[in-house]
Amino acid sequence: MRINDPTAYRRCGELEAIEELVDVAGREVLELGCGAARMTRALATRFGAAHVTATEVDRIQLDKNLAIADLPGVTFRYGGAESIEDPDGTYDLVFMFKSLHHVPGQLMPRALAEIHRVLAPGGRLYVSEPVYWGEFNDLMRLINDEREVRQAAFSALRDAVDSGLFQVEREVFYEDEGVYADWEGFAARFIQVTHTALDFDEKRIAAIRAAFERHLTPDGARFLKPHRVDLLRRID
C-alpha cells in the first residue's frame, strides 16, 4: 500500500472509480459519513444498490438528509464508524468517501474492526481519501491542515490489512477537477461548514482568500484534486 504515488494518477472522478472497481447493483450498502448525501444518491440511483444505509455524525447535516423525500431506497441515521448499529454480516459493500480521516485517531482501529464485523463474508470496503499533495492541498491546509489525520487513516488501513482483517484488491490514484466560480462559493463550500468548528479571524480569512484568488480566472478557479482509493476485501 502507498499513501501517494505521483506517477500513478489518472484523470477521472469518484463516480468513474466506483464504476470501474465495484458492482453496486442489487447490493446491501452502508455509507459511513455521508455528508450532504451526494454519493448516497449516486449509490442508490445511478448504481442501483438494493438499499443504502447512510450514517452521519453532523446532526445539522443529518436533519437536512432526513428531509430528503425522493430516495425511498435509503435510510439515513446518526452514527459513527466506530459503533455500527447492525448485526454481523449485514452488508455486501461499505463505502467511506473522504470520511475515514475524520474518525478520531484512537477509534480508527475499532472502526475498521466494526466494518469487518458488519460485512458479509467476502464483502468489500471502498475507502476514498484525499491525498496530501498538490496545489489544492496547499490551499486547503490553510483552512485545516490534515497531514496528521490523513497519515493516521492510511496507517489504520495498512494495519487492518497487516493484521488479517482485509486483503487489498485494488489501489487506485485519481485526480478530479474542482471548479469554483468565485471566493463566495469556495468559502461556502469549505469554510462555512457545520461538520468542523472553524473560528478564523479576519487576518486568516484574508490570507485564505488571497491564496484562492491567485488561482482565479474569468472561468473560475480550477484545481486538480488528488485522491487514493483502497478497495479491500473482508477476510473471513
pLDDT digit string, tens, across residues 186-235: 999 898 765 655 678 889 999 999 999 999 999 999 999 999 999 999 99
pLDDT at 201: 86
pLDDT at 83: 97
- Whether 126 is in a domain gets the answer yes
- Residue at grid coordinates 489501489: 171
pLDDT at 2: 97
- Whether 121 is in a domain gets the answer yes
Would you give the DSSP letter of residue 191?
Answer: T
Say if CB 175 and CB 7 are below 8 A apart. Answer: no
Would you give the DSSP letter of residue 73?
Answer: T
Distance (Å, whole) CA 83 – CA 70: 28
pLDDT at 193: 63
pLDDT at 192: 78
Helices (DSSP H) in 10-77: which residue ranges? 14-21, 38-41, 59-66
pTM of the model: 0.93
Radius of gyration of the chain from its Cα atoms, rounded to whole angstroms = 18
- Whether 201 is in a domain gets the answer no
| Domains contained in the chain, number | 1
- Whether 2 is in a domain gets the answer no
- Describe the crossing of helices 108-118 and 147-162 by its angle, rounded to 10 degrees: 50
- Whether 205 is in a domain gets the answer no
Say if CB 1 and CB 172 are below 8 A apart. Answer: no
Q: Is 161 exposed, middle or buried (0-12, 13-18, 19+ CB in 10 A)?
A: middle
- The angle subtended at Cα 46 by Cα 219 and Cα 168, nearest 5°, is 95
* Residue 157, domain extent: 10-131+145-176+227-234
Identify the CATH number of the domain in which residue 72 sits: 3.40.50.150
Which residues face 53 on adjacent strands?
30, 75
> Which regions in the chain score pLDDT beneath 70?
193-198
- Whether 49 is in a domain gets the answer yes
- Whether 222 is in a domain gets the answer no
Distance (Å, whole) CA 27 – CA 35: 21
- Whether 204 is in a domain gets the answer no
Say if CB 52 and CB 28 are below 8 A apart. Answer: no
